[in-house]
Amino acid sequence: MLNGILVIDKDKGMTSADVVYHLRKALHIRKIGHAGTLDPDVTGVLPIAIGQATKLIELMHQRPKKYIGSGLLAYSTDSYDISGQTILAKPVEEEIPANTIQSAMNSFVGEITQVPPIYSAVKVNGKHLYEYARAGIQVERPKREVTVYQYDLLDQPNYDLENQSEDFSFIVKCSKGTYVRSLVNDLGEKLGQPAVMTGLRRIESSGFKIEQAVKLSKIVDHPELVENYLQPIDSFFTQYPIINLDEENWRKVQNGAIIQVKTDAKKLTLRYNNKVKAIYKKTKRGYQPDLMLLANQ
């Protein structure tokens, strides 16, 4: 039985649900899901939870994500990326210095209030925003609180005198629910120049990096290789102290009982036979179940 996290390097033009569909079919498994939707035009890290690891999906969502991307100062669109319709164009009449762009980026670092793009999967009254957009219906977009940990230029911006535009590349580390497209759009507003996101690639999500990722086609074409790329459930809990259970405590854990351990850690990773079987949390009475993974083999 497969249990673990498969880090897929998603290709452009495919939805996250498409990835899950193809893997379910190729691997003949039912318990599978993704952590952190990627737009079809966005590439990069898409963690796929398999078997017992599907219990981690909500926890996986909580961890920061990191992206590299590119943007263009000259025009903006209704979708905040180049797939949308142009709604405002304004020539960049003179080069905007890198330090000016970086200073504007710095203003978004920290906890911010963000309005998602109208072409997004955010729901209002049971419908996705993109459904309202396609129907031409005006609707108030809900504001959300997100955290931006990093928003930096990757290299020197490139000013195009002939086209009176300026392109730039950037790196962003942010919390779940953050729309990087909105960060690019809002950066343009801060600079007094319409902006559009021209490309985006996720390089880290749920603690997993692009270096650990494999192309979907490789797994679909050679499903027998999946275990070579499967990240063990243990790899998700490296921040918690590990307790290797003896037979007595293993019997208690199997029954969801409280155990006594001499440590001050808030949470513990409990292992038996070299596999994570549970995450326990500290209480006044001892350590009790927080997440059970008894079937992790």
Catalytic one among 9, 11, 18, 39?
A: 39
In a domain, 101, yes or no: yes
Which candidate, 96, 68, 274, 296, places its Cα nearest to that of 184? 68
Look at residue 297 and tell me if it is in a domain: no
Q: Taking the model in full, what pTM does it have?
A: 0.89
Q: What is residue 43's predicted lDDT score, i.e. its pLDDT? A: 97
For the question of residue 39 being annotated catalytic, the response is yes
250 and 122 inside one domain:
no
Domains: count for the chain:
3
Angstrom CA distances, 241 to 39, 52, 237, stand at 36, 20, 9
- Which stretches does DSSP call E strand in the chain? 4-10, 32-34, 43-50, 65-73, 75-77, 86-89, 110-114, 123-124, 127-128, 144-153, 158-160, 165-174, 195-205, 208-209, 230-231, 242-244, 267-272, 275-283, 286-292
Together in a domain, 71 and 163: yes
**Among 185, 202, 219, residue at a domain's last position:** 202
Which segments of the chain have a pLDDT < 70? 118-122, 124-126, 128-129, 132-133, 135, 137, 140
Under 8 Å between Cβ of 270 and 276: yes
CA distance 247 to 272: 9
Domain membership flag for residue 150:
yes
Tell whether 69 and 132 lie within a shared domain: yes
- Note whether 129 and 222 are same-domain residues: no
Same domain, 173 and 282: no
CATH of residue 8's domain is 3.30.2350.10
pLDDT of residue 119: 66
Report the pLDDT value the prediction gives residue 36, as an integer from 0 to 100: 82
The residue range of the domain holding 256 is 239-292
